[in-house]
Structure 1
């Protein structure tokens, strides 16, 4: 027989040489029908096509996507496609009389399984009873429903015990709860679940010994009979493509994306590839191998479902690789007969026999070398482990690389010795189940220690392997390094829950801990104190020293606050210069006050910021749980109110929440809401108070003062609503309204009373300092009214000059260039400095009423007033005295050289129309009228 083979090979070689010398043969066109759309599940066929394996075999292959589940079987039987892929249900088709023949098995284990959402308890497939499940239609043989139904029946969940619904192939149906279970491919849907963070359990038929084949390459009896060589060539080229695809995951994924489909991204294709490794088992089993006993096992499962008779025969269903040579049997016989008549003798026979043996051994060696190459080049770490001794039997290079140890080092230790103790215990428990065949495989996440002391995260997949007679059973362990992924997840979690500057818990983590401590407090019947801390004058540090130094201060402040509390307490940064402290398990408030005072004391100490020192204090609001509130939102609101009470009381102190604060806060909130409608409702009114020239008694100036006529409260004091307008930002709109009204009235009085009449209007520091402020719109409005800039005087406070940033200086220059004069209000009560008066363009100083009120000859107030007047005149500034209420005060100021007076002696503030009449009634010098009345 071997001599005949040798002669046949010689004839074939001669024929090949003859054919090579002749013209090139045309490629035979064939069609491969896939059962689903393009994905890594069919990567071997794409590889055979794109790498030219089919062309080398003389084939021009067209690969078609699957449109419906029956297409592969239907088209092959009808002759529309010569080859196709199908599931183990092909066995049903064969025994139903359809001439289908399986050429090769690609998936040694079926990827088909059942997925259910986790409920918090132990996994239990019987939860499916009475529920809705997508397990395909019973009429669709290619749905793989049969193996799941057999599995469920074996687990005590017959098909009649749950509701089967049409399969939508949309994972969202399970995630949203539209169904309770879904048939899935373990190479596909779990990736979607993992990405969306959906917790799930997978139930595989293999858990109860139902082990179907997965994807199968098949053809028809007609194709084998008419084109045996083509069948052999197509199968060989396809298997060659699969060997390449299973050892080149990255390149195969790129090939699919570039040539076939982009429905799935690269990450999903690589996920498919990794999940296919334990199913295809390219290292342990030759791709395409199929076992008659396994097909018999599948037939027995079908028989248990009543779909096949018991011990049904399926002869001719499995393709035999050497069948393609059956049609040449006559040639073998002729050659054999010829060989018998050849007088070559025993020597030639044994020579040929030795040559055949050598060739067979070489083929075995090449096969082993091929599988060894695939084992060594695998992109995942692979090791064979003795299940009894836990010693390594074989290790590939990637496994050694992940563990950071050489093969010799690994063989000197046992499996799991370098694993983290917390992770090893559950893995050993799974290994015990694997050894006793209660499960066939498992996956786990584990930490391991590398020789350099670092810790790596690995994803472990372990499968049981049948032992040879007399040998220990082995386990196939595959590992993948997921350290980078875990580090990325840890970084994302850190950034989501902790402040990047101070590394304290951020608002999200703070709220989570507060809610947790509140639950614990309910159980323990203890109390919690919430401290809301705001740094005083922190803005000045940012503005003067820069935000970088401000960040250094915040880090140091966080350290100081943390040093005042226990480790069980929580210090968090909510943002900006706001910190919170949760003091839990309190027995009395004495500890709260002690900690609050300690925080105040530590924050008062100077902050070293490079070559500079900064001083800040803190205002602390304190609220108690459950005394002051029973929910998180109200606790935070009350702590914030208490903090503002501390700030309003002078800063550098703490304040407890009281119901009075809540009432005041509600009042402020309601008043602020009313304030938003005041402009639209025309509730504001402008009052004017005359500014009298003390020497002549003439009234050529007035100060504009806003009043709010609230529809329910009556007249609301500016002292009450101006701070609300500033904090809410409404001050900008209100200031614009005051400007327009002032301009309207001053235009009238310059035309009808005096051509140089001036109106002074106050500007809030917040309004003056706001970003984007420009007086160009003021000038445009004045020009539209034919008014010069000198018709208005802007009154500002000394505090603005103390914080004289570039923007403040630029705005003062804008006023000067526009001709609008500037008055410094309440002079002498703030941070007075002669350098400010020298540096900035100021036109008027207004002596505060606190000096005027107690004026008397030879008094200190008189001396200070005279000094202010002399200093102002030396700097070419005019002086206006506020709060003049008696003739004696007026006379003393006039004698001291004061230019103007303003107060109740002359007139109280009055509405614009009334002031207009007042001006006309007092056309004579005002001072003269007062002298006459006296």
Structure 2
């Protein structure tokens, strides 16, 4: 505390100053070197400069930013600066023989801490082992990370157990996962994390009693020896600036933005100011105060790191306010003046003594009033607690507001009475260390009950308070309501790990739980089954009843699947209509099959969707750990392949993964990759099969059929590669190539053989239904070749007519308007209805080969074929029979009135050049007979 001067001393000093100070003396120029860039961390010095406190002290101060944390020590020792800001490792410099002296402590507690990504479990510092961390600079031994390294060592995480990376001071490196931990200032980086919604845990050395000072104002022994008065003046003006800055946050923030730096916005500066309050403690501790015992504590920590010998002395390191009274000449002058004024001073001393006492008492009263006002107006809840009885001795308004109780109600309770039982144990353990003086303070995250029974999350900071000898020890408890922050963190965690529709674990949580269960399985020598579930025909529900009803079905499906498994098992939704199940601690596969069958049975039951009912089934793929694979990616791939095998086997069933499935999947993947280069490599070829007019035998139609000449595998069947083309999206490009190639040949055959020749093209449902698709490009190409629309017939499947969307109707109308005819392929094998034939413009029905193959007089296939022919003719449609292989079949169809036949009886599909020769050898009848036959 400042020494109170008597009137005599004041007169003596005033006279001395008159003797030694020249009138009109210019301001003394000095430099203050900061350890970092401009920010609220140095607000007190900016305030002292801009508000004129330095000028009033006779100083012209220049404040310089720091490029690295060692700049202040380096520049002061070299004479480039007179004053600087430094951390507690100034003690290392002093004991290494460097003449540095700490003038004042600004931060009573260090803001230095470690941040790690939040994982959803309990915070655990040992997660850092084997990981990468940015902790200080790598260019010196400790890299200004001494307190963190001591903390990690004490917690069982020595520096050798993780990889230190050069610090970039960029929070994005932690957010992006470039590193797993980062040294931060609690006054700075958490604001960035909170703004970006990044979930994090903070680990502070104070949690284990390592309590360093933060920012310190320091100088050199040479400055104190040569300019003692300047040192006192600079220190006093700086502390005066800090007192103003810590009680005028908003004005100080505006000052920084206007005069010093706009790197951070105003919101961040105010965040920094709020976070500095519990570190600087301006309400409880006089700014600048430093305790020799705290410096001894810091020295002991350094000794534990092997940086200092035990019980090392550091005399002269702490500045004494009354030290440095000048050189001997100055002292002699003061003593001379004092002797001259002694008699005068003695005469008036007693008359002034009473007035001085009154002024002293008034100053004390004003100081108490000021601190009381700050205590009551503090944004933190503050209470003074008896450390033995846990009774409240003093409580501010914010503390009462957070607890939801009046001061009278709180005084009837004891501290921790309203705390959560699980948290009280932890706090009491810390209090035991505090009471026995093993630690001087601690922080904790705790919960308390409000009168309405609700839980409130609070950050608690508890500090021991010095009391008079013989009296009970007290502690100061400061609390901050962080409920909103915890709720926000919980919501972010929920959204990151659970599906928003079904509230099941999502893919991220599924992967995490599977990894955990695999580790447990390795320890217990038990098995795991992974079930991949895909709902059959779910797309039809979405398309017919809408996505909202589809979501209702998915929620019900999630509930049904979850009801079939144990609580220890995991049901997750990966997306869309795909679900996964983890069955852990398996004894045998019979349990897996029972659950799979139960899921199939539950999903077969009807789904009530308001006034509608929907029916779906499921296909389930099953893979076993560790029998089938030992890593997550392979397990998921295996289960997916097994699920597709179940679908291929007819749906509504489950299938186990087998190596054969893996071979087939690899084959499909390689074939798909080869398919991507087939067009550019000109590996496709069109084959044509004639369509014969049964009455006249004329050939004036043909169906275009694509073949793939694979460089290694030879001819690949369309049945094998068309599904791959559809699933990969290549079918669009292939379909466009087929159209252009067919148009080229039909132009040739119309010019060479007959002007009414027609080519039939098969169109995949994906081509026909694709978004934004139209036949404008086709029509332009036909126009460029001078071909009419009647030169082409588009063959579609019956399933397309089930889609009553506007897109299907629009494309059928576009074909009709262009003169392109439409054939319904494989008629009788799908979901056809007479209403569809009446509703849409169809020109041809193609009787499937499954009817033609077994044609015989009076057979059921013959009866069905005759019915189709009669029905088609009544609707003014032509009929083409596929798969005609014998003369008997041809004659029966002709007798029944079938218009056209197609099959091996007439010709197999053949390359275009061979088909061209085939047409030459089978000359067509006159145009008039063709018209008549049509």
Cα distance, 1:732–1:182 mapped onto 2, change above 3 Å: closer
Alpha carbons 2:43, 2:245 under 8 Å: kept = yes
User: What secondary structure, in the 3-state scheme, does the structure 2 residue paired with 1:567 have?
Assistant: coil
User: What secondary structure, in the 3-state scheme, does the structure 2 residue paired with 1:504 have?
Assistant: coil
Cα distance, 1:239–1:829 mapped onto 2, change above 3 Å: same
Task: Report the Cα distance in structure 1 between the residues aligned to 2:115 and 2:883, rounded to whole angstroms.
Answer: 84
1:34 maps to 2:33: yes
Show the counterpart of 1:546.
546
Task: Report the Cα distance in structure 2 between the residues aligned to 1:601 and 1:242, rounded to whole angstroms.
Answer: 74
Unaligned runs of 5+ in 1: 13-24, 156-160, 343-347, 927-934
Q: By how many angstroms is 1:279 displaced?
A: 5.1
Q: By how many angstroms is 1:187 displaced?
A: 6.6
1:106 maps to 2:109: no
1:606-633 Cα offsets, whole Å, 9 max, x none, are 2222332222111122233334333333
Output the TM-score relative to the length of structure 1.
0.80
Task: Report the Cα distance in structure 2 between the residues aligned to 1:205 and 1:869, rounded to whole angstroms.
Answer: 91
User: What secondary structure, in the 3-state scheme, does the structure 1 residue paired with 2:685 have?
Assistant: strand
Cα distance, 1:339–1:578 mapped onto 2, change above 3 Å: closer
Show the counterpart of 2:244.
244
Task: Report the Cα distance in structure 1 between the residues aligned to 2:10 and 2:531, rounded to whole angstroms.
Answer: 97
Show the counterpart of 2:217.
216
Q: By how many angstroms is 1:214 displaced?
A: 5.4
Q: By how many angstroms is 1:328 displaced?
A: 9.2
Cα distance, 1:429–1:443 mapped onto 2, change above 3 Å: same
Alpha carbons 2:434, 2:441 under 8 Å: kept = yes
Task: Report the Cα distance in structure 1 between the residues aligned to 2:449 and 2:296, rounded to whole angstroms.
Answer: 46
Task: Report the Cα distance in structure 1 between the residues aligned to 2:781 and 2:501, rounded to whole angstroms.
Answer: 47
Cα distance, 1:267–1:519 mapped onto 2, change above 3 Å: farther
1:764 maps to 2:764: yes
Q: By how many angstroms is 1:212 displaced?
A: 7.3
Unaligned runs of 5+ in 2: 16-23, 118-122, 927-934
Alpha carbons 1:497, 1:508 under 8 Å: kept = yes
Q: By how many angstroms is 1:808 displaced?
A: 1.2
Show the counterpart of 1:345.
none
Farther-moved stretch of structure 1 (613-622 vs 456-465): 456-465
Task: Report the Cα distance in structure 1 between the residues aligned to 2:539 and 2:282, rounded to whole angstroms.
Answer: 67
Cα distance, 1:310–1:919 mapped onto 2, change above 3 Å: closer
Task: Report the Cα distance in structure 2 between the residues aligned to 1:760 and 1:482, rounded to whole angstroms.
Answer: 72
1:657 maps to 2:666: no
Show the counterpart of 1:802.
802
Q: By how many angstroms is 1:755 displaced?
A: 0.4
Task: Report the Cα distance in structure 1 between the residues aligned to 2:91 and 2:883, rounded to whole angstroms.
Answer: 108
Q: Given the alignment, which residue of 318, 321, 340 partners 1:318?
A: 321
Q: By how many angstroms is 1:791 displaced?
A: 0.8
Task: Report the Cα distance in structure 1 between the residues aligned to 2:302 and 2:669, rounded to whole angstroms.
Answer: 75
Show the counterpart of 1:390.
390
Cα distance, 1:733–1:191 mapped onto 2, change above 3 Å: closer
Alpha carbons 1:31, 1:82 under 8 Å: kept = yes
Task: Report the Cα distance in structure 2 between the residues aligned to 1:825 and 1:199, rounded to whole angstroms.
Answer: 67
Task: Report the Cα distance in structure 2 between the residues aligned to 1:180 and 1:529, rounded to whole angstroms.
Answer: 32
Task: Report the Cα distance in structure 1 between the residues aligned to 2:9 and 2:375, rounded to whole angstroms.
Answer: 34
Alpha carbons 1:101, 1:221 under 8 Å: kept = no
Task: Report the Cα distance in structure 2 between the residues aligned to 1:36 and 1:691, rounded to whole angstroms.
Answer: 90
Cα distance, 1:539–1:3 mapped onto 2, change above 3 Å: closer
1:6-21 → structure 2 map (5 Å cutoff): none
1:91-139 Cα offsets, whole Å, 9 max, x none, are 999999999998755345677999999xx9999xxx9xxxx9969979x
1:566 maps to 2:566: yes
1:437-476 → structure 2 map (5 Å cutoff): 437-476=437-476
Q: By how many angstroms is 1:57 displaced?
A: 7.8
1:288-327 → structure 2 map (5 Å cutoff): 288-289=288-289, 318-319=321-322
Alpha carbons 2:530, 2:639 under 8 Å: kept = yes
Q: By how many angstroms is 1:776 displaced?
A: 1.8
**Aligned-CA RMSD value:** 5.3
Show the counterpart of 2:715.
715
Alpha carbons 2:526, 2:587 under 8 Å: kept = yes
Cα distance, 1:426–1:56 mapped onto 2, change above 3 Å: same
Task: Report the Cα distance in structure 2 between the residues aligned to 1:65 and 1:245, rounded to whole angstroms.
Answer: 19
Farther-moved stretch of structure 1 (642-651 vs 191-200): 191-200
Farther-moved stretch of structure 1 (716-725 vs 107-116): 107-116
Q: By how many angstroms is 1:857 displaced?
A: 4.2
Show the counterpart of 1:693.
693
Output the TM-score relative to the length of structure 2.
0.80
Alpha carbons 1:137, 1:145 under 8 Å: kept = no
Task: Report the Cα distance in structure 2 between the residues aligned to 1:225 and 1:97, rounded to whole angstroms.
Answer: 19
1:256-655 → structure 2 map (5 Å cutoff): 256-263=256-263, 273=273, 276-277=276-277, 280-289=280-289, 318-319=321-322, 354-655=354-655
Alpha carbons 2:692, 2:906 under 8 Å: kept = yes
Larger Rg: 1
Farther-moved stretch of structure 1 (738-747 vs 663-672): 663-672
Farther-moved stretch of structure 1 (29-38 vs 414-423): 29-38
User: What secondary structure, in the 3-state scheme, does the structure 1 residue paired with 2:697 have?
Assistant: coil
User: What secondary structure, in the 3-state scheme, does the structure 1 residue paired with 2:701 have?
Assistant: strand
Q: By how many angstroms is 1:674 displaced?
A: 3.3
Task: Report the Cα distance in structure 1 between the residues aligned to 2:855 and 2:165, rounded to whole angstroms.
Answer: 95
User: What secondary structure, in the 3-state scheme, does the structure 1 residue paired with 2:471 have?
Assistant: coil
Task: Report the Cα distance in structure 2 between the residues aligned to 1:415 and 1:480, rounded to whole angstroms.
Answer: 16
Q: By how many angstroms is 1:419 displaced?
A: 2.2
Alpha carbons 2:224, 2:324 under 8 Å: kept = no
